[in-house]
Structures are given as C-alpha cells and as structure tokens.
Amino acid sequence: MIGAIIGDIVGSIYEWDRIKTKEFEFFGTGCHITDDSVCTVAVADILLYDRPAVSTMQQWCRRYPDAGYGGLFAEWIMTDNPRPYGSFGNGAAMRVSPAAFLNRDADLLVALAAADRVTMITHDHDEGIKGARATAHAIWLAYGGENVDQIRGIISWVYGYDLSRSVDDIRPGYEFDVTCQGTVPEAITCALESESFEDAVRNAVSLGGDSDTLAAIAGSIAEAVHGIPREIQEFAKDAYLVHHPDIHSVIMEMYGVRQG
C-alpha cells in the first residue's frame, strides 16, 4: 500500500508535464498526494474495519476535494446513494493494493473478492474489474514468493494481458491513457522488469503517460517484489505524509496488521 502512495507522490508532477526518461529527481519539487493516494487509503479503511464501501470512499474523497478526481468519479463522490457507472478507468487498479496486502496469507479467492468489493462500487465494467483483479493478483503472487517470470506468465494467462514487451519497447509510442486496458499491463511490466522499488517507479514515470497512476500501480507491485528502502519510506513520511495525519494513521494501522 505504501508503495502505491509513494509512486503516486513521485509521479504527481509528471501527469501533465510528461517525460520519456528515467533520469529525474525522485521526489521532485512540487510532488504531492493525489486522488490515487486518497482512494488507496479509503480502500484500506474499508477493508481494515469492514466499513461500508460506498459511504467510506465518499467520506475520504470529500475530505480531499481537490485531489484531482476524474469527472464521473467526482460526480459519484457527491451523489446521494451513488451507483456504479460502467467505468473501466485505471482508478480501479491504482487503489486496490490493500485488498492483496491484507489477504496476502489467505487464499487467492479471498484477495480477489476483496478487490471486487472495493472496485464494483464504481468500476463495474469487465475491464475495470479485470484491471483491479490483475493488480491484486500480481501483488498476492509476489507476497507468496513467486518470481517475476512466474508472475508474468500467470497474469498473462489468466487476464490475457500482453506482458511480452519491455519498458524500452513500450516507451517510444506510449501515450496518455486512463483506461485499465491501456495502463495496467504497462504498469505491471514496469514493476516486473525493475531491479528495485525505485527502478519500478522510474520505469512507470518514464513511459510518459498517466504518470501518478502508472507509478502507483507499479509501486504497489514493486513493494511486494522488492520491498521499499527505509530511507524512501522515511522521506515520504517526513516530507509529505506528515501533512496528512489521517492518511498516515491508516497506513500505520495497515502495517501494524502485518507485524501483528
């Protein structure tokens, strides 16, 4: 989960000022949390405490009204008794990591059911559900000790994603895309091809697409594959999360569960 939030922070300044290189300041000037972090924390809150999914998501997002939500989701946030709206946007995948993290020692079906629970409140299109499930599945496999080649093969087979291209293959022609089908395979590739957590996030930003979301998805998987260096976690906490104690509190609860 913290991998998704760090990826979001690092990628935040490149969403509209996109780059095609891995050579950039990791925590650049102006980095901040976006809707990706807010929604990820909302999912953690829902699953940690078995809270109502719809109202809890709305409460978190209303608390951060300027986080950069997409148009239809922004309407959903403010609607009384909202319904899912057939979305296949990549928001389904960027927020789902707590479903895998909290159920990493459970059966896969439990993790996927948790992913569905927090996805289908908005993203009830088949591609939206698939994107969230594929992300959660990859994280679950990594925590289960599968190597990157095994994860790549399983995700390709189960979800039909093309994971055969390298990051260098993808980068030249890749454009801004907010769909699951145009984001999740690329983000998974960025994580599985990486040499470290930081390298995964750099891969994702370097594609020159929806950088915060690509990096959030890749970061959530890379956390499970590589772990996150303590110095990166501490910098994120001291420079960014200190300004959002409610978000930091949920993160601590999540990792308290892991250590308990």
d(CA 107, CA 35): 29
| Residue 74: per-residue pLDDT | 97
Residue 113 pLDDT > 90: yes
For the entire predicted model, the pTM comes to 0.97
Residues whose CB falls within 8 Å of the CB of residue 109, separated by 6 or more in sequence, listed in order: none
| Residue 198: per-residue pLDDT | 98
Q: Are 228 and 6 in contact (CB under 8 A)?
A: yes
Range 2-23+32-259 classified under CATH 1.10.4080.10: yes
Q: What is the pLDDT of residues 24-56, one digit of tens each?
A: 999 999 999 999 999 999 999 999 999 999 999
Per-residue pLDDT band for 258 (boundaries 50, 70, 90) equals: very low
Nearest of 79, 73, 225 to residue 140 by alpha carbon: 225
Residue 259 pLDDT > 70: no
List alpha helices for the chain, DSSP H. 2-11, 35-49, 53-63, 71-78, 91-94, 97-102, 108-119, 126-143, 148-159, 167-170, 184-192, 197-206, 211-226, 230-239, 245-259
Which residues share a beta bridge with 179? 89
Provide the 8-state DSSP code for 89.
Answer: B
Q: What is the pLDDT of residues 125-161, one digit of tens each?
A: 999 999 999 999 999 999 999 999 999 999 999 999 9
Mean pLDDT score of the chain: 96
Domain boundaries, the chain: 2-23+32-259
Q: Are 184 and 90 in contact (CB under 8 A)?
A: yes
Q: Amino acid identity of 239?
A: A
Nearest of 242, 171, 251 to residue 203 by alpha carbon: 171
| Residue 188: per-residue pLDDT | 98
Residue 195 pLDDT > 50: yes
| Residue 256: per-residue pLDDT | 86
Per-residue pLDDT band for 250 (boundaries 50, 70, 90) equals: very high
d(CA 51, CA 74): 21
Q: Is 179 helix (H, G, I), strand (E, B) or coil?
A: strand
Per-residue pLDDT band for 257 (boundaries 50, 70, 90) equals: very low
Indicate the angle between helix axes 53-63 and 35-49, nearest 10 degrees: 140
What number of CA atoms fall less than 13 Å from residue 89's CA on the CB side? 18
Q: What is the pLDDT of residues 44-89, one digit of tens each?
A: 999 999 999 999 999 999 999 999 999 999 999 999 999 999 999 9
| Residue 169: per-residue pLDDT | 98
Neighbours of 164 (CB within 10 A): 10
Q: What is the mean pLDDT of residues 170-174?
A: 98
